[in-house]
Amino acid sequence: YFPMSTDDQLRFPDGFLWGAATAAYQIEGGADAEGKGPSIWDTFSHTPGKVFHGDNGDVACDSFHRYGEDIALLKRLGVGSYRLSLSWPRIQPTGRGEVNAKGLDYYNRVIDGLVEAGIEPSVTLYHWDLPQALQDAGGWANRDIADWFGEFAAIAGEAFGDRVSRWITLNEPWVVAHVGYRDGRHAPGIQDPALAVAANHHLLLAHGNAVSALRASSAAPVGITLNLTVERPVTPEAAAHAAVLEARQNGVYLDPIFHGRYPELLDGDASFSPAAAGHVRDGDFEIIGAPLDFLGVNFYAPHYVGMLHADGEPRRGETVTGPDTVSIQPDGLPITAMNWLVEPGSIRELLTRIVAPVTGALPVYITENGSSWHDYVTQDGQVNDLERIAYLRGHLAAVHGAIADGVPVKGYFAWSLLDNFEWAEGYAKRFGLVYVDFATQERLLKRSGEVYASIVAANALPKA
């Protein structure tokens, strides 16, 4: 417990790390600048019909050229850390062998700029932009990628390891495997459960190899970022279904990393368990279980799980998710522009019920949390994003609650610093604390950005 509240504010622990996050493909642009090779997101976004409005990341927020403005915005927010990711094909154009010195130069400029500004670089090695040449060799479905990724991690560790404050090997491996190879809504756009379950296992092996490679070249703490789900059953019979959904998303990553096995609940399910699908070889769990310094958690919204009515017809607010289950949007909860629920208590539930029992005393960082709304600039030149402010305050209060419960949450990174390329949604969905006019690349701090800056400065959340 810590001296955490007065009548009018919730104080965060001393040294709590405040941050903001982005990802390379979502902000950089410079798609073929200075020797960068193509990534699967270049290919996917240039394939008609894949991304809303035909948008792509060729220019994005042009951070390849405007990173200095981004750093100035981070200073205005007053954050202690910036979470950015490296574009693998900017550094290794074909993903193997040859290193593009100009790619390293770009990240050296960014990292040096951050350090000079007193902002700790928190660097994600992989946030979804795989070199296309590796996809052509099978991508995450090819077990060899564990070695390719280990080499890339070694290159990054040697180049930047002296100035990076913390490393994150992978961003959301569940999304990479499930959305990239099962649903196909993300690059590489494959719909094949067998490849998805293979990717799940190879992502974990790659993560383990990266941890070792980073340990050899950098003293900075190393972790992984998982997007964990909270599945809330609305009836007693739905509880078993909710547990399976959590095992398929949380257990398949938490259990191998922290317990050296895949979830028992999925035993025999070759469509979701890499063990059942026969991918596990001797020694794999030793690689996957390499000790970590922290766990990164991304969280946006909970899910409510109910049983499909006997007549097989979904009711209002229900979406059929299986032979006898539905996902429910309960009445009375706000819904973001992404159609995601707003229920701040769910992040506290995630941390106390799901994370802490697995990670114990290991430090936890919220590496992404945020929301998308229909932001616009008013005539007097402001973005009055009151919904984002409410979301931010609600979730920070809930994180504070989790800390009071004893969960060692050491920091919080808002998603995102900037409005940016929101994957399959293109530029239509804005998550930034900073508004970006994509026609002019002008950046404008939203009211949520001002509120975040005041929370960061106070290391406390006003209760009002």
Q: Is 431 a residue that touches ligand GBH (CB under 6 A)?
A: yes
Rounded to a whole number of angstroms, the distance between the first and last alpha carbons of the chain is 23
Considering the candidates 28, 120, 246, 368, report the single residue annotated as catalytic: 368
Which residue among 248, 290, 422, 434 contacts ligand GBH (CB under 6 A)? 422
Which residue among 172, 246, 284, 343 contacts ligand GBH (CB under 6 A)? 172
User: Annotation-wise, does 387 bind a ligand?
Assistant: no
Contact window for ligand GBH (CB under 6 A) among 90-98, 169-177, 201-209, 386-394: 169-177
88's tokens: 């693998």
Contact window for ligand GBH (CB under 6 A) among 185-193, 299-307, 385-393, 449-457: 299-307
Contacts of 316 (CB under 8 A, 6+ apart): none
Residue 28 vs 172, nearer CB to ligand GBH: 172
User: Annotation-wise, does 279 bind a ligand?
Assistant: no
Q: Is 340 a residue that touches ligand GBH (CB under 6 A)?
A: yes
Q: Is 301 a residue that touches ligand GBH (CB under 6 A)?
A: yes
Considering the candidates 28, 120, 172, 231, report the single residue annotated as catalytic: 172
Contacts of 28 (CB under 8 A, 6+ apart): 57, 60, 61, 62, 63, 64, 87, 90
Which residue among 171, 200, 346, 448 contacts ligand GBH (CB under 6 A)? 171
Indicate if 368 belongs to the active site: yes
Please count the other Cβ atoms lying within 10 Å of the Cβ belonging to residue 388: 27
CB-CB contact of 327 with 242 (8 Å): no
Q: How far is the CB of 17 from ligand GBH (least distance, A)?
A: 18
Q: Is 23 a residue that touches ligand GBH (CB under 6 A)?
A: yes
Q: How far is the CB of 425 from ligand GBH (least distance, A)?
A: 8
Number of residues interacting with ligand GBH: please give it, by CB under 6 A: 16
Indicate if 387 belongs to the active site: no
Catalytic residue ranges: 172, 368
Binding site for substrate: residue ranges? 26, 127, 171, 300, 415, 422-423
Q: Please give the residue ranges that form the binding site for ligand GBH (CB under 6 A).
A: 23, 26, 171-172, 175, 227, 298, 300-301, 303, 339-340, 368, 415, 422, 431
